Structure 1
Amino acid sequence: MTGDICMAVYSAPPINKKEILRYAGAREADASLAALLDECLALVDDGLSYRVAYAVYPVTKTAEGISLGFFTTSSRDLAKNLDRCHAVIAFGATVGHFIDRMVLREGVRSPAKALLLDALGTERVEALADVFCRDLAEKYTKEGCALRPRFSAGYGDLPLSVQTDVFRALALPKSLGVTLSNSLLMTPKKSVTAFVGIVMKEQV
């Protein structure tokens, strides 16, 4: 049903070490960095949870711009992303608090390890979002639809303040245990929210 919050739980997506190094600002790993990365991977093994909360909303044009059912925006960039879409999936994804705790702990002991752990957390939540979107694409392809690339608050001219609408619509503090500060920072830090437009294939 439109607006109903659904939940998805995943096993750990495949690790992409190159992406972790990229997020850490390293082009490639020498032997010592590779060993440190392996230590980080072992440290968080089985400590992460991969969870997604999502809901489907109608997309309609308004005098102000577009409405996604739970909020209206004048963002031209989001409107372009959702052009010809009849519906949109709003979702939140998180890998939990564990990685944040490890980053804080290792920040005192080993700043280099803390940097890699932070990059690992980013790679993990992005991988989760990618797996979720691939599952959506498979589902909606069977229904004669295609999906647009995911688009998040803070992209282009879509203000970061839209996060408050997403958090309210998906009840993220309750559904995922993810909270939003007054400065619009998410906790756990390794969490993302995004919109994914749904368009009929003949409209692509």
Structure 2
Amino acid sequence: MSVILTESIILPDFSRKEILRYAGCLNTSESIDALLDKCIERSRNCFAGKVCFGVFDLKIIGNVCDLGGMKIESADLSKNLADCDKAVIFGATVGVGIDRLIMKYSRIAPSEAVMYQAIGAERIESLCDAFCRKIGEEYGGTLKPRFSPGYGDLPLAVQRDIFSLLDCKKIGLSLNESLLMSPTKSVTAFVGIHK
């Protein structure tokens, strides 16, 4: 069994290009730029990047990934983790602040709510990318792409196992009966380490 760690991670600068992509803005304008500037400024202090994770020895037999205390049957996850001898299982969140802004502005300014959704998506992806870079530096080797419950044939119900294994509540992350995470801008995933 791996030791489960928690970390706070400083988020990189906002990526305007990615935020606009998540917002579905193919073209920009002065009004869109002004809206984005306003929403970034208002949300700047809403984010607290937190991660809980463990690094596990990995054995793959057929379509079964054996991670010590957790065995998962998934052809797609097995393919993603092929040639790896270790895998990171992690949960990450940027906190509830952005959820509050999305909820508030959904009622009073829907265009701002859309921009906050996009900012939140960019922030959680930035957090996951920063965490994976850190893992790559610490453990060496090549990291496989993140693979989350709900991708391919990996059931969303695997969320329950991840939450139980990592004790995600330590970073303020919870899972409801419908397998939806709160805060909403959160991720759980597997990342293979290939030496």
Same fold (TM over 0.5): yes
Counterpart check, 1:150 vs 2:149: no
Kindly state the Cα deviation for residue 71 of structure 1 after the two structures are TM-superposed. Answer: 2.2
Aligned-partner Cα distance in 1 for 2:27–2:51: 31
Aligned-partner Cα distance in 2 for 1:65–1:89: 16
Partner of 2:8: 9
1:94–1:125 contact (8 Å) kept in structure 2: yes
Aligned-partner Cα distance in 1 for 2:63–2:84: 17
SS of 2:46's partner is coil
SS of 2:45's partner is coil
1:7–1:52 contact (8 Å) kept in structure 2: yes
Kindly state the Cα deviation for residue 185 of structure 1 after the two structures are TM-superposed. Answer: 0.4
1:20–1:120 contact (8 Å) kept in structure 2: yes
Kindly state the Cα deviation for residue 63 of structure 1 after the two structures are TM-superposed. Answer: 6.6
Partner of 1:169: 165
Aligned-partner Cα distance in 1 for 2:119–2:147: 22
Amino acid at match of 2:182: T
Kindly state the Cα deviation for residue 198 of structure 1 after the two structures are TM-superposed. Answer: 1.4
SS of 2:192's partner is strand
1:147–1:197 contact (8 Å) kept in structure 2: yes
Partner of 1:106: 105
Which structure 2 segments of 5+ residues have no match? none
Amino acid at match of 2:174: T
Give RMSD over aligned pairs: 1.3
Kindly state the Cα deviation for residue 126 of structure 1 after the two structures are TM-superposed. Answer: 0.4
Partner of 2:85: 86
Partner of 1:188: 183
Identical amino acids, percent of aligned pairs: 43
| 1:63–1:129 distance in 2 versus 1, CA, 3 Å | closer
- Residues 1-204 of structure 1: matches in 2 within 5 Å? 2-62=1-61, 65-141=64-140, 145-173=141-169, 175-200=170-195
User: What whole-Å deviation, never above 9, does each CA across 1:67-88 have from its counterpart, x for those lacking one?
Assistant: 1223222211110111121111
User: What whole-Å deviation, never above 9, does each CA across 1:106-141 have from its counterpart, x for those lacking one?
Assistant: 111100000000110010000000011011111222
Amino acid at match of 1:181: N
Normalising to structure 1: TM-score of the pair? 0.91
Kindly state the Cα deviation for residue 61 of structure 1 after the two structures are TM-superposed. Answer: 3.0
2:63–2:74 contact (8 Å) kept in structure 1: no
Aligned-partner Cα distance in 2 for 1:7–1:65: 27
1:91–1:194 contact (8 Å) kept in structure 2: yes
